[in-house]
Amino acid sequence: MSGDSIARPEHASAPRDPRPREVRLVSILLMFFGGLGLVLAPFLLRALRDDAAHGRSVSGPAYGLVAVATVLALTQLLCGVFVFQGREWARKVAIGVCALSVVTSLVALAAGAVYPVVIGVAISIVIFANINKPPVVSWMR
């Protein structure tokens, strides 16, 4: 028997188009910054604990912000993986994370952190612009 005589299963899907380069870019950005956030979160938590241990006032919301940042970082990392795989739901969640990132950047701007805000908003715009390009949207369906 030759390999040509093997019937293709009916449930097998047609081959997908090649992955658009925008998908790779978005996935790399999401995974990098999500991973970076996960690496930095314990250091932020330790800094808060050190401040509290040395008698400095640390508000409860500061701990909450570290927890939210950790959850967002994990979400970014997972979105990066699943966007790379072509999951449409991950694209939608990544758009939401970008929007939330812009909002949290505005809060950081109120605290006086200008450069991180500019960088964070720029990265969010790059992700948002690329993840909504027609080749990406059509590839992920």
| pLDDT, tens digit (0-9, with 9 covering 90-100), for 59-78 | 777 778 888 889 999 999 99
| pLDDT, tens digit (0-9, with 9 covering 90-100), for 127-137 | 999 999 999 99
- Contact present, 70 and 41 (Cβ < 8 Å): yes
Report which residue type is found at 38. Answer: L
- Mean pLDDT across the chain: 85
Number of H helices, E strands in the chain: 5, 0
With a cut of 80, say whether residue 9 has pLDDT above it: no
Mean pLDDT of 115-129: 91
| pLDDT, tens digit (0-9, with 9 covering 90-100), for 20-43 | 999 999 999 999 999 999 999 999
Which one of 8-12, 47-51, 52-56, 98-102 scores highest in mean pLDDT?
Answer: 98-102
- Residue 26: Cβ-neighbour burial (10 angstroms; 0-12, 13-18, 19+): buried
d(CA 104, CA 110) in angstroms, rounded, equals 10
d(CA 126, CA 42) in angstroms, rounded, equals 27
Q: Which residue has the tokens 């812009």?
A: 102
